[in-house]
Amino acid sequence: VGGCNLIEWNSKLFDSCPNTDMQELGYDLEQYKDGTYHGMAFLVCLMYLVKVVPDMYYEFYNTLGATDAAYSRLLSLRQILSSQGDDTISQLIGYKMENYMNTAYIALLYLLNIWIIFHTDQVLDIVLDFLAFEFIARFDEELTKSQWWDPGQRWITAGAMELVLQTTIRRQWLDNLDAFCMQFEIDRDFLLEACGENSSFLKNKEVASKDKDDVVFMTKEETLDFWFTNTAKKLRNWNAVEEYEAPEVHYGMLDRILQKDHAMFNRFWKYRTWSRWEVVLFASPVPKLNDLFEMDERSGRPSIARSLEEIRPTPDKPFLNFYPELQGGQNVFLGNVLDVLLLKGYVRGLMQKWKKREYGSFLFLWIDGIIQWLAYFTFIIFPVMVLLAIFAIIWSLINRA
């Protein structure tokens, strides 16, 4: 702005003042010489160092699911869902945007403001730029706090419950008969016969539509509501229908058009294949008590069989042990950051996708891993860049004469 840089040291990197005449063109030299420019720029960078940097890192700490806050716990579930590969395309894009917005975006935004401050020729412009960038940085967060669109937090509650269901109900197993048999050691031919040779397994639109109207799979209360609903529909008493049948709810007009069969609170209805569930729930082999317990010769009481002590974890089937001291917030945070920066999670994810022949996901993960690494790196070096800016201002202030 005005033809040259505020901080003379910075002109070595961004030389926009080829001669002395242009240097004197855009500045109030008295303000420059008495240090007003430097003082204001120093205050802005100091504010970034003592306020913005800690806030950014705390927000990043929450984003990685390392605290007990509700927001952090939901994001922790979201991370589990992503590692399971059960998220939808819209969820995947939203989750990646959440990570990028809390890392690279915010860091690049403030670095851009520092660069602009170094090229500003009016002290008032420095203040206005600072306020403008603060507004831009917080605008999206303040917008989500609006109460008018969801006063009872009904939508966010539904989204949280859907997230819990998705992490608990492994849809990739329920959609694939072979994966389900491998996971629960069930005979494949038995399930094929029970499901009528249908490869869609527990997710079946036709079977779900039929079973939801079968009173055999209903409780007494559900049966009464079902008959009342049918009677109300025959009489065209729509007010009575709403009393017994939950309406389809969509989040906005666009959601109603694009996801006609995926109304809120009703997105898992294709899995309501109760006739198949009744068979599947009891198909897995049940261990015999004699294989788990044996009689203690001294006390005469049942105890855990010694043969179980010989079982050892393997890379394919590790023990699901839980060590609280290894699952603290700081360990979770550092583990996630190091996984990204050292490319451990990146390589591991690529190998898994390649082995499963999920080439579309492989390509997406390949690109996303590079962007995520750059985002984390930019976020981590942000405090260093702020410190360098402060040193540049002090150096220029000392040598301004």
| Residue 386: band (very low, low, confident or very high) from pLDDT cuts 50, 70, 90 | very high
Task: Note the pLDDT tens digit of each residue in 94-113.
Answer: 888 888 888 888 889 999 99
Q: What are phi and psi of 295, to 5 degrees?
A: -80, 130
Interval 176-205: pLDDT, tens: 888 888 888 888 888 887 777 666 788 888
Residue 14 has pLDDT above 50, yes or no: no
- In degrees and rounded to multiples of 5, residue 399 shows phi and psi of -105, 20
pLDDT mean over 37-62: 86
Q: Kindly tell me if the per-residue pLDDT of 15 is higher than 60.
A: no
The 10s digit of each residue's pLDDT in 274-323 is 888 888 888 877 777 777 788 777 777 888 777 777 777 777 777 666 55
- Looking at the predicted structure, is the pLDDT value of residue 84 above 50? yes
Percent of the chain with pLDDT over 90: 4
302 bridge partner residues:
295
Query: Environment class of residue 181 by beta-carbon count within 10 Å: exposed (0-12), middle (13-18) or buried (19+)?
Result: buried
The tens digit of pLDDT for each residue in 138-180 reads 887 777 777 777 777 777 787 888 888 888 888 888 888 888 8
Taking the CB of residue 208, how many other CB atoms lie within 10 A of it? Answer: 19
Lowest mean pLDDT among 128-137, 252-261, 304-313, 378-387: 252-261
Residue 378 to residues 48, 315, 341, 391, Cα–Cα distance (Å): 15, 34, 11, 20
User: So what's the pLDDT on residue 388?
Assistant: 92
